[in-house]
Amino acid sequence: MSSRQDFGPERAELEAVLGCEAFAKSPSLAKILRYVSEQYFEGRADTVKQYSIGVEALGRPPDFDPRQDPIIRVEAQRLRERLKRYYEAEGSTHSIVISLPVGHYIPQFTRRRVAPEPSAASDAVATPPSAASAGAAGRFWPSWSRSRFAVYSLLVFLAAVVLGAWAFSGSKLSRWTTGFIHQMTASASVSEDSHAIRILAGASKPFVDRLGRTWSADRYFSGGRAIVEPSVFIARASDPGLFRAAREGEFSYKIPLKPGSYEIHLYFAETRYGPRTAWGGGEVSRLFHIQMNGRRLFTDFDVYSDARGSDIADERVISDVRPKRDGYLHLDFIKAMDYPFVNAIAVLPDPSGKMRPIRIVAQDHNVADREGHIWGADRYVLRGRIAGVSPVVTSAASPALYAGEEYGNFDYAIPVPPGRYTVTLRFAETYYGPHNPGQGGVGSRIFNVYCNGVALLRNFDIFKAAGGENRPARETFHNLGPNAQGKLEFWFEPVKDYASVNSIEVVQQSR
């Protein structure tokens, strides 16, 4: 799989794009695309910021301030639109697609399989990308994120019928059928709970995130001030849009709730303090207390320390919370060292008193399994890359859960409240095997998996565990508990070639 690090095809695609008429007439867009791409090729993607693009790519003076001059944000949006139009027309047959995800300045090079000339019956069906994809996954299928959950349940049912017919007849799935199944499941979105309250602190208008959840503008607060955060890449974030604004100062929230049990999620990202920020600092630069219904929830809370750095999403979850007798949930943010802040608050009804199950697929969109459960797009992960896979794992109960992989040397930090958890990891070897791009078999890929420093799997071989290529393997672990930062942290450590995982499920055990 070392070929994944060969950027020859990506560089060739970059030159093809820059040589087209659309970019020849837009030199500023061409300069930005070349700069961010070269930084990516040289392994310096983490240094790409609005300031560096302005100064190094566009020749702005050293005193250039992106907070005062929005030129980079404007040009980046133009670049996204220009790339989109290019691959819809002139570049529609290219095997590599360059994109610039919203909220990011790091380009993605997504490999896709170019299908033969389609027939009339298959014109609308895309072909999933190759398992050997070197680029982080792009949007392979249309996203109907705001449609009703019932529609997706029906579509998933139809996909299951197709799979069942295939299994019964023993025939091989056609490319059209394969694409249909992926398209149906990839379109699934999170079903909005009409009783959930999601607040984007400091925001002046509602926001729909990439998981399909609607967040209201800031409300129910008193004190503090609304601030707009720098537009930077936020690691581990389910959607960087959740961290574009914040409420800062000493402030409170008084949220009206009906009687019952609730699950509370608090979202933070420290963008002010850190070794690469203008303010410098790090741990202990900002400390504050959080009270819930008059009870101290966190003392001297340090977002930078909790998240292990700046520009990293930090989420804390509190379960079995009930409103006070006055019918409100009271949250108080109290200064200790520098002012408190919060980026977002979610209040989710949970009559069971347990955390809602967390289901994650290593894909950039939500999918639904055969039981109607929604699996959210990839999140909570640091390092690693996601890629679509083309072999359909048809022997799995829900093939859509294996349609993408996270690979590399990476870790997930999944926020949970105190308790014990059952975690299921799903794998499928879709790169190595006699009929797959990497050839090989047993021993081609070996890695370890740890949870909060304790080994769960040692020298794990997906091919061996599954009994062959393109077959599902499940590993389930019970009685796992969070660390002191309220996280189940899973580290996937390569031994031979890259580690890989397709989906993760976390369910709280009965007390």
Matching fold, domains 149-187+357-508 and 197-349: yes
Question: Tokens 């139009």 correspond to what residue?
Answer: 85
pLDDT attached to residue 194: 61
Q: CA-CA distance, 306 to 245, in Å (whole number)?
A: 20
Looking at 1.10.3720.10, 1.20.1050.10, 2.60.120.430, 3.40.50.300, the CATH number of the domain 149-187+357-508 comes to 2.60.120.430
| Cα diameter, the chain | 69
Q: Report domain extents, the chain.
A: 2-111, 149-187+357-508, 197-349
pLDDT attached to residue 350: 87
Question: 197-349 has which fold?
Answer: Jelly Rolls (2.60.120)
Are the C-beta atoms of residues 283 and 305 closer than 8 Å to each other? yes
Tens of pLDDT, residue by residue, the chain (511 residues): 334 456 888 888 998 999 887 787 788 899 999 999 998 888 887 788 889 998 998 888 888 887 777 788 778 888 988 898 888 888 888 889 999 887 678 888 887 654 444 333 333 333 333 333 333 333 333 333 334 444 444 554 555 444 444 444 433 443 344 444 444 444 444 444 668 999 999 999 999 988 888 999 999 999 999 999 777 789 999 888 999 999 999 999 999 999 999 999 999 999 999 887 778 888 999 999 999 999 999 999 999 999 999 999 999 999 999 999 999 999 999 999 999 999 999 999 988 878 889 999 999 888 999 888 999 999 999 988 888 876 778 888 899 999 999 999 999 999 999 999 999 999 999 999 998 888 999 999 999 999 999 999 999 999 999 999 999 999 999 999 999 999 999 999 999 999 999 999 999 998 7
Residues contacting 191, CB < 8 A, separation 6+:
148, 149, 374
Are the C-beta atoms of residues 386 and 137 closer than 8 Å to each other? yes
**What's the number of CA atoms in the CB half-sphere (13 Å) around residue 407?**
28
- pTM (predicted TM-score): 0.65
Question: Tokens 């000493």 correspond to what residue?
Answer: 250
Q: CA-CA distance, 322 to 106, in Å (whole number)?
A: 42
pLDDT attached to residue 154: 52
pLDDT attached to residue 73: 79
Q: CA-CA distance, 42 to 287, in Å (whole number)?
A: 37
Q: CA-CA distance, 506 to 459, in Å (whole number)?
A: 23
